[in-house]
Amino acid sequence: MGRWLFWGVLLAIAGGAVSVWRGWLDVPPQWNPWAPLDIKAAPNWLTGYKLMRLRSDPELCAQALSSSDLRVSPQADSPGAKCPLIGALRVQGGEVALSSSFIASCPLAVAYAMFEHHTLQPAAQSVYGQKIARVDHLGSFACRNVYNRESGALSRHASADALDIAGFRLADGRTISVLKDWPKQNQDAEFLRQLRDGACESFSVVLSPDYNAAHRNHFHVDVGRWSVCR
């Protein structure tokens, strides 16, 4: 009896999934695994899957990005370069200003928009009672190996899939620095830890000063295929 019940439940789930995929069963977009990601919608257990799908579907990624407030401009493809970029974007900021624009793959731009909307500003309001006005970063695209080694694997920076975030400026002009404030036991350190933990919901990899000394002055965030949150 138990075995038949198991197979019956499994078939019902599979049938429901097919019905949603075919459009025979109408469900809200946030609960439809095949509906485009809406960056401003509250994340749920399907968000990670929707973010993963963007890596292999440029059209779907562009559709998701259009639901954000980010200002972006397309960059010329460079298929013959040592570190080729196809479909890269220049991110120029949105509700939150940037210390400078940066080059990003579409999935990185989407993940950054998710982080800004669902982690950065809510944490700032919770801890400081005000918004973040600017994000300071150390760059994104760099055609190099991991840790600038002469040999070995290419960094995620080499495909514009990574960004190094160094600090933040509040609306009242105060600044929070990963280098200076992470080691402290105060409000600023609490804020930075909230950001590190929350960023792991948007990015595949988040490396903070807790990871190693090479990250003492920034958060490395990327949209690679590995999953690390430290």
Average pLDDT over the chain, rounded to whole?
Answer: 90
| pLDDT digits 0-9 by tens, 165-193 | 999 999 999 999 999 999 999 999 999 99
Which pLDDT band holds residue 143 (cuts at 50, 70, 90)? very high
pLDDT in tens, 32-68: 999 999 999 999 999 999 999 999 999 999 999 999 9
Instruction: Note the pLDDT of residue 12.
Output: 35
Residue 70 tokens read as 């980010």
Q: Does pLDDT of 3 surpass 60? A: no
Among 20, 118, 102, 29, smallest CA distance to 68 is for: 118
Percent of the chain with pLDDT over 70: 89
Q: Name the E strands within 37-100.
A: 72-74, 89-91, 97-98
116 token code pair:
């800004």
The reported pLDDT for the residue numbered 152 is 86
pLDDT of residue 19: 46
Q: Which residues lie across from 177 on neighbouring strands?
A: 167
Q: What is the secondary structure of 100-160 as a DSSP string? A: S-EEE-HHHHHHHHHHIIIIIHHHHHHHHSS-EEEEEEEES----BGGG-SSSPBPGGGGT
Domains in the chain: boundaries? 1-35, 37-229
Q: State yes or no: pLDDT of 79 exceeds 90.
A: yes
pTM exceeds 0.75, yes or no: yes
